[in-house]
Structure 1
Amino acid sequence: MAAVRVTGRLIKLFITGDDPRSLRTVELDNWWGMAVMGRRSYFKKALAREELSRSCIYLLIQSAASDDLPEVYVGESDDFVQRYATSPFPIPFDSFVVFTNKDDNLTRAHVKWLEREVWELLSRNEGKVQLANRSTPTGSKLPEAETASMGTFLGNMIYVLEALGFAFFEEPGAVSIEAPEPLPALAADPVVQSFSTSAQPRSETHKAHLDMVGDGYVLRAGSLISATATDSLPANVGKLRAQLIAESALVPQDGCLRLIKDIAFTSPSPASALVKGRSSTGHGDWSRTTDRKRLGDVLRER
């Protein structure tokens, strides 16, 4: 009888109190790294943990409303406890994730390298997250063997974040160096459904186009975007709009702005808000191109 091949990985999630929302530690099988995570109300409790006196890379996360983007601050420290015992926070946040290690093998050079890599990955996912720190981290130059080791560490970090529901990256293994146990290939490409909406009220010519690919969304290059924005436009979508204009990814066309590159989103609402220049539910604004059915109705059918 042929041996059965079992795929998968084991994540150990330990809740440090009776409240299921309390501070948590996260470990992954066959990995010397670990994470400490929780809501802001448990931040002081986290500072009492010995592991956070070591070198670490961390994310401070401000969750978003349905029509906005989450905001993330990426940082590193050789002593997280000392860094935040008395210092002010760089952004308001409602949750945090700190990655460190169990055996003191993570150095300051390692976490500076990791900080730069995570920052660059998030900066390329501008439709999924708004980076709070816009300046590129300095990073560090590592020997070839250390770079390979940190590539594996980074792959495991992203695996843990994705498994815990932080969908900030294109895919769980979106790193230049392969993770030790990559996810198995899908049997078939995900189904793509196309939707459209108008950048201007009741206009049939000023269209934006959104593809639903699996559980994600892609606002397609060539989409027309409202040339104006109202005060109701969510703050982080407004930052994204300003960023796209600054880098010439939105250019004037026919009284609108034309998007010149694809942008991936985790939700249709911030994509719709970007297009219309105002707050938008997304589910009611996008219509399927084949039958004009609203996106919200399509999702309910699923």
Structure 2
Amino acid sequence: MDKGKTIRIYLTDGTVAGIRHAELINWTGQAISCPRNHLSALANWHESTRPGVYFLFGLDDETAQPTVYIGEAENVYVRLQQHIKKEKNFWKEVIFFTNKDENLTKAHIKYLESRLVDIAKIAGRYLVLNSNTPTCSSLPISDKAAMEEFIRNLSVLLGSLGHRVLEPLADFENKPTTSNSTIPANPNLFYIHTKNEKNLATAQRTDEGMVILANSRALIETYSSLSNGNKDLRVALVEKGQLRQEGNYYIFTKDVLLASPSQSASVVLGYSVNGREIWVNVEGKSLKALEEESMKK
């Protein structure tokens, strides 16, 4: 079945840096992205006065980690003005979602807010500033199904506007829970084996890079061949608690996205290495070999 979607984005001032209106063809939802310094211009957008959910995006002042606050409002523009007065200073951009019709009620947006906070926390890409997950409103089964579809479409638009905050780093289907789990036949899973350790680390190859899966292990010793950038990266992962020493190994405490096969393999092994040769699938074929095979087809 064709899962393709068509997105239409209107740039109000002809640049991607200004206010953008985005919609999926044949969907009644809509998104508006607005930089904080253009917020007053939303007064001219009747879409901003509707009930909806919103995302405030920024960076943590100390760690530069992407951060998000997720909220709901019966009038989004009024709520955003309140956030300005309350001096929520971290955010630089807001993206909000409303409906083109009048079918989003207070119960609907409360349900959406609760689910979106929960999904964003599970995805783990951004630091979610909501201290608690809001209470999920009770809806009829048919309305819940409609809101879950709204969330799926919302996530597509949100990603197209530059924020994959709701998307998990790795595909949870057939994902092993520990490094010693039975290896599933997933074509996107790859492994690092050493002379002494089988399945030292497990990673999922994605369009963004290599996601080292939680409970994978890494060697503790760092060798001189490891680049300074990757040395700093290992230190940062330890400081963030994403790498924790247990016995003779570091353990990845959560899924970690790294830019390339070589970077991810070097972080695991503690020395520079060609990741396309080191990462192998369940059949023992390296990434390099698989890429070469695919080019021959």
Same fold (TM over 0.5): yes
Equivalent AA in structure 2 for residue 100 of structure 1: T
**What corresponds to 2:223 in structure 1?**
none
Cα separation, 1, equivalents of 2:192 and 2:138: 44
Please tell me whether the aligned partners of residues 12 and 20 of structure 2 are also in contact (alpha carbons under 8 angstroms).
Answer: yes
The residue aligned with 1:114 is 112
Asked if 1:145 is matched to 2:142, the reply is yes
Contact 2:189–2:202 (CA<8 Å) still a contact in 1? no
Q: 1:130: how far off?
A: 1.7
Q: 2:47 aligns with which of 45, 51, 57?
A: 51
Equivalent of 2:77, from 71, 78, 81? Answer: 81
Amino acid at match of 2:159: E
Cα-to-partner distance string for 1:187-232 (whole Å, 9 max, x where unaligned): x965445569xxxxxxx99x97462513243223142597xxxxx8
Q: Is the 8 A contact 1:74 1:133 kept in 2?
A: yes
In structure 2, what is the equivalent of residue 183 of structure 1? none
Q: Give CA-to-partner distance per residue, 1:111-167, whole Å, 9 cap, x none.
A: 1111111111111122x2221223111121111111111111111101212233322
Describe the SS at the equivalent of 2:104: coil
1:170 aligned to which of 157, 168, 171: 168
Residues 1:45 and 1:256: Cα distance change in structure 2 (over 3 Å): farther
| Greater percentage in helix | 2
Distance 2:170 2:32 in 1: 19
> Separation in 2 of the partners of 1:47 and 1:240?
40
1:225·1:259 contact (CA, 8 Å) conserved in 2? no
- Whichever of the two has the greater Rg, that structure is 2
**Residue of structure 1 in register with 2:251 after alignment:** 258
Name 2:17's counterpart in structure 1.
21
Question: Alpha carbon RMSD of aligned pairs, Å?
Answer: 4.4
Distance 1:108 1:152 in 2: 17
- d(CA) in 2 for partners of 1:135 and 1:239? 25
In 1, the alpha carbon distance for the partners of 2:106 and 2:258 equals 33
User: Which residue of 2 is the match for residue 36 of structure 1?
Assistant: 32
Question: In the alignment, residue 88 of structure 1 is paired with which amino acid?
Answer: K
Name 1:217's counterpart in structure 2: 210
Q: Distance in 1 between matches of 2:255 and 2:203?
A: 10
Match of 2:97 in 1: 99
- Are the aligned partners of 1:37 and 1:96 in contact in 2 as well (CA < 8 Å)? yes
Shift in CA distance, 124/6, structure 1 to aligned 2, threshold 3 Å: closer
Query: Conserved in 2, the CA contact under 8 Å of 1:195 and 1:287?
Result: no
Structure 2 length normalisation: TM-score?
A: 0.65
Distance 2:141 2:35 in 1: 37
Equivalent position SS for 1:72: strand
State the shift of 1:285 in Å: 6.4
Matching residue's letter, 1:166: H
Alignment: residue pair count: 246
Instruction: Choose between structure 1 and 2 for higher RCO, CA contacts under 8 A separated by at least 6 residues.
Output: 1
In structure 1, the gaps of 5 or more residues are: 175-187, 197-203, 227-231, 245-249, 277-283, 293-300
Secondary structure of the structure 2 residue equivalent to 1:124: helix
Residue segments in structure 2 that go unaligned for 5+ positions in a row: 173-184, 221-231, 280-291
Distance (Å, rounded) in 1 between the aligned partners of 2:256 and 2:107: 32
